[in-house]
Chains A and B, each alone.
Chain A
Amino acid sequence: MEGGFSVPPGLRVTAETNKPGGREIPPGWTKNPTAWPKRIGLAAVAFVGLLVAGYLTLYQIHVFSTVWDPFFPKGSPIVTHLTDPFPDAAMGVLAYGTEIVLSFIGGRSRWRTMPWTVLAFGLVIFSGAGISMILMIVQPLVAGAWCTLCLASALISLTLCGWGADEPLAALQHLKRVRQQGGSVWQALLGREYTQALSGAPRKEGV
């Protein structure tokens, strides 16, 4: 017997789950984690991060001779030159750019129709949060200084992680449902096997 106690709501399989053009809200959820308004909001926050990281990169490659810092004017040059000659802020540009691109890939139900994009997005935002934490530790311990824009970039990364974390959660729950139905997780990851596996119908071979 599949009781509500033993099987969490998000992992229950129902006939209406994950048909093409079917429900947008994952089972057991109150709203769609991959709805457009939220993804546009995440992309907007990532764009602010891109501007901050872009500015720091331009300073690191000597396009600007000084770096703006209202709180730690002496600290920012020390922190930003820690990895000379490598402009580490460029990694931030890459991460924020990837987040923006991934925010616009897939439809409203991409947590089930294109889980790979959602998991890739999750990987980037969780990595960003981890790296932000490391940067917050490194600034006083290694550089012995603080950098306002670096801290702002860390705050933006943490905001993206907190706000966007429900997307990969919905995709992981979806993959677990596919597996429980005997479907291929790899096929589901590419969005190829959600129909049969989750509607309760027999699974086609070689989909």
Chain B
Amino acid sequence: MGSRILSTVLTFGARSVGVVFGAWLMMAPKIIGYADKPAGFVDHLTGPVLLVVSFLSLWPALRILRWLEIPLAAWIFITPFFLEYAVGDNTLPEILHICMSLVLVGTAFVGGKTRESFGGGWLPILPFLKREAKEEL
């Protein structure tokens, strides 16, 4: 019972991290003041994508989506190296980006197990769709 509660807390905690980071990236450009820079444009795009991916992976049937947090984390990690986030001497946004990306990679590996099973999930369906498409052609 205790391990079940711990597992649930870990799962929701890990997924919620992505949701919070996504929401932060959506708002940060205006809050910190880099909304008019290309970096602000990029964060306004990246934030909602991360939020949606992490939010949907809260549900067991879509838990597989959590792996998309890894490429998103990689993107968040590299953006400060070629986009200007700093506002004056304030390098906090750049530091936050690197910290967020490292945490996201870690949380992608947490809370993947589900008590429910879904008959193999989504991946076995994909070759079926590809084969159908070939036959249609």
Q: Which residues of A contact B (CB under 8 A)?
A: 8-11, 26-31, 33, 129, 132-133, 136-137, 140-141, 158, 161-163, 165-166, 169-170, 172-173, 175-176, 179, 185
Contact = CB atoms under 8 A, between A and B. Distances in A.
A38 B30 CA distance: 39
Contacts of A8: 119-121, 124
Contacts of A170: 118-119
Contacts, number: 92
16 contacts: A9-B117, A10-B118, A29-B116, A30-B116, A30-B117, A31-B116, A140-B29, A158-B52, A162-B55, A162-B58, A163-B59, A165-B59, A169-B61, A169-B119, A169-B121, A176-B125
A137 B42 CA distance: 10
A163 B41 CA distance: 31
Interface size class of B (residues with CB under 8 A): 20 to 34
A163 B116 CA distance: 13
Interface stretch (B43-51, B66-74, B92-100): B43-51
Interface of B: 26, 29-30, 35, 41, 44-45, 47-49, 51-52, 55-56, 58-62, 115-122, 124-125, 128, 132
A136 B51 contact: yes
Contacts of B117: 9, 28-30
B135 to A, nearest CB: 10
